[in-house]
């Protein structure tokens, strides 16, 4: 049997991993988490098929994170 993913979306939340994120900056940002959850809930109720496109800038942020924590024992 072949399984297929029908829906992929990210949720922007407060990042609090200290070696990688500035906590004061994260807490000052309104990421509208409640609105994001409501939109996803509606999508699920309507059985929406959608895959969020990953921007190159997001890929670069992720790669920078991986590079920064590569030698930190608490991430291994």
Segment (H or E) for 7: strand 7-8
Q: Where are the domains of the chain?
A: 7-75
> Are residues 8 and 49 in contact, defined by beta-carbon separation less than 8 angstroms?
no
Q: Give dist(CA 72, CA 76) in Å, integer.
A: 7
Reported for 38-42, long-range contacts at CB under 8 A and 24+ positions apart, including other chains, are 40/9, 40/11
Residue-wise pLDDT for 5-55, tens only, equals: 899 888 877 665 656 566 676 676 777 889 999 999 999 999 999 988 888
Q: What is the reported pTM?
A: 0.56
What pLDDT is stored for residue 67 in this prediction? Answer: 83
What pLDDT is stored for residue 35 in this prediction? Answer: 94
Q: What is the CA radius of gyration of the chain?
A: 16
């Amino acid at each position: 049997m072949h399984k297929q993913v029908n829906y992929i979306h990210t949720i922007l939340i407060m990042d609090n991993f200290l070696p990688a994120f500035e906590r004061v900056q994260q807490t000052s940002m309104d990421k509208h988490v409640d609105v994001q959850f409501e939109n996803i809930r509606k999508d699920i109720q309507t059985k929406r098929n959608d895959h969020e496109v990953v921007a190159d800038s997001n890929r670069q942020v992720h790669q920078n994170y991986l590079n920064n924590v590569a030698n930190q024992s608490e991430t291994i």
